[in-house]
């Protein structure tokens, strides 16, 4: 289904790349480098700060057939003055349609290749069939996806109106192994996220020197505290000659043949090229 079948690496325009304090020029440079290097699958979301607009501006001159774009719906920041910044969920039909329209506008596209429900519960997945088929019939989206975890992702792997499942999978956490196998058996596309544990699996995590590295460390402490020690221990395990920790972690993900695309993100061109080289070695 996905055009990037030859390269199983996709690129996430998210996190630091969507922050105002991270320059748009640097973001555009890394996105263009990804396109030039043959990455066609780009993932983003309306709630990733400036990420969607920035990706849209870079893609403006790239023909729609040359890239594969996914975005997400259901999560938003409460705009009301007393709750500013609070994350709220809304999977109503109207909210989903409004999210799609806003994403298409920001991305300068006529259609999204995949629209993911971002973290829905089982009722919200069950209620999505109608809106997904409406959006497909209108040509606004090609495929319907669920980005989630545990029993929610397991449900998505089994329902006929979901085409793509997106979940975490990496060298520290393979909890979705059976969900991915089920999804594959049911003919769905499997997209894995956090192949580098959102930066946990990176030498120097605890010695940040740039604002981006501080941000990744803060996010790791906020979201993945329980994995930190394990990641730290794993970092000191022997690796193959010439292999980096990140390379080892990526290879591990690509060894799972149920995974069609592993999505990673980076602010650095050398990291991008290193990840692409690993993806090319493990087709």
Ligand X SMILES: NC(=O)c1ccc[n+]([C@@H]2O[C@H](COP(=O)([O-])OP(=O)(O)OC[C@H]3O[C@@H](n4cnc5c(N)ncnc54)[C@H](OP(=O)(O)O)[C@@H]3O)[C@@H](O)[C@H]2O)c1
By CB under 6 A, name the binding residues for ligand X: 12, 14-15, 43, 147, 193-199, 202, 212, 216, 246, 263-268, 271, 274-275
Tokens of 267: 């602010």
Give the nearest distance from C-beta 262 to ligand X in angstroms. 8
E-strand ranges in the chain read 9-12, 41-43, 68-73, 75-77, 87-89, 112-118, 141-147, 164-168, 189-193, 261-264
Q: Which CB sits closer to ligand X, 1 or 274?
A: 274
Give the nearest distance from C-beta 197 to ligand X in angstroms. 5
Among positive and negative, which fits the CA dihedral 60, 64, 67, 71?
positive
| Residue 73 neighbours by CB under 8 Å, 6+ apart | 46, 91, 95, 96, 99, 100, 103, 115, 116, 117, 118
Q: Point out the residue whose Cβ comes nearest to ligand X.
A: 12
Backbone angles phi, psi at 171, to 5 degrees: -65, -20
Q: Which CB sits closer to ligand X, 128 or 265?
A: 265
Give the nearest distance from C-beta 80 to ligand X in angstroms. 25
Q: Which CB sits closer to ligand X, 3 or 185?
A: 3
Q: Which CB sits closer to ligand X, 116 or 132?
A: 116
Three-point CA angle 253, 255, 261, nearest 5°: 55
Q: Which CB sits closer to ligand X, 134 or 274?
A: 274
Give the nearest distance from C-beta 166 to ligand X in angstroms. 6
Q: What is the Cα–Cα distance from 15 to 95, expressed in whole angstroms?
A: 23
Tokens of 104: 């298409």
């Amino acid at each position: 289904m996905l055009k990037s079948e030859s390269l199983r690496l996709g690129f996430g325009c998210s996190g630091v790349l969507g922050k105002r304090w991270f320059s748009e020029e640097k973001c555009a440079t890394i996105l263009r480098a990804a396109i030039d290097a043959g990455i066609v699958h780009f993932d983003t979301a309306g709630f990733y700060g400036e990420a969607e607009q920035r990706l849209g501006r870079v893609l403006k001159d790239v023909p729609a057939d040359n890239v594969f774009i996914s975005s997400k719906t259901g999560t938003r920041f409460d705009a009301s003055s007393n709750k500013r910044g609070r994350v709220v969920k809304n999977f109503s039909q109207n909210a989903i349609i409004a999210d799609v329209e806003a994403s298409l506008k920001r991305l300068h596209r006529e259609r999204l290749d995949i629209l993911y429900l971002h973290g829905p519960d089982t009722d919200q997945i069950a209620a999505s069939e109608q809106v997904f088929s409406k959006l497909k019939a209108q040509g606004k989206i090609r495929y319907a996806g669920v980005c989630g975890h545990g029993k929610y992702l397991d449900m998505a792997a089994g329902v006929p109106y979901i085409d793509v499942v997106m979940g975490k999978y990496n060298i520290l956490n393979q909890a979705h192994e059976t969900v991915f196998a089920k999804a594959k058996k049911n003919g769905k596309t499997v997209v894995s996220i956090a192949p580098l544990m959102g930066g946990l699996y990176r030498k120097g995590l605890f010695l940040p020197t740039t604002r981006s590295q501080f941000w990744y460390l803060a996010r790791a402490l906020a979201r993945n505290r329980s994995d930190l020690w394990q990641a730290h221990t794993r970092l000191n395990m022997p690796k193959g000659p010439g292999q980096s920790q990140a390379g080892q972690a990526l290879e591990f993900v690509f060894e799972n043949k149920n995974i069609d695309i592993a999505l990673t993100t980076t602010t650095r061109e050398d990291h991008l090229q290193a990840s692409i080289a690993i993806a090319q070695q493990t087709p």
